[in-house]
Amino acid sequence: MILGLDVSTSITGVCVMDVSGKILLADHIDLRKFDDFYSKATRVKQYLSFVQNKYSTEKIIIEKSLQTFRSGFSSAKTLSTLASFNGLISWFCYDIFGIKPEHVSASTARKKIGIKSKKGENTKKLVFEEIAINRELINPEYTKFGNPKSYFYDICDAIVIANYGVQNE
Output the pTM of the full model.
Answer: 0.87
Predicted pLDDT at 86? 87
Residue-range definition of the domain harbouring residue 55: 2-167
Give the confidence band of 74 by pLDDT, cuts at 50, 70, 90: low
Q: Residues of 48-66 as b/e, b for ≥16 C-beta within 10 angstroms? A: beebbeebebebbbbbbbb
Residue range 138-162: average pLDDT? Answer: 89
Kindly report the CA angle at 2 between 49 and 30, in degrees rounded to 5? 50
Highest mean pLDDT out of 63-72, 77-86, 90-99: 90-99
Residue 58 has pLDDT above 60, yes or no: yes
- CB neighbour list of residue 107: distance below 8 Å, 6 or more residues apart: none
pLDDT tens across 95-141, in order? 999 999 999 998 888 888 888 877 777 778 878 887 877 777 778 88
Residue range 4-15: average pLDDT? Answer: 93
Measure the CA–CA gap between 21 and 79, rounded to whole angstroms: 31
57 and 50 Cβ atoms separated by less than 8 Å: no
Number of folded domains that form the chain: 1
1 and 55 Cβ atoms separated by less than 8 Å: yes
Give the confidence band of 69 by pLDDT, cuts at 50, 70, 90: very low
Looking at residue 34, which CATH number applies to its domain?
Answer: 3.30.420.10
Residue 21 has pLDDT above 70, yes or no: yes
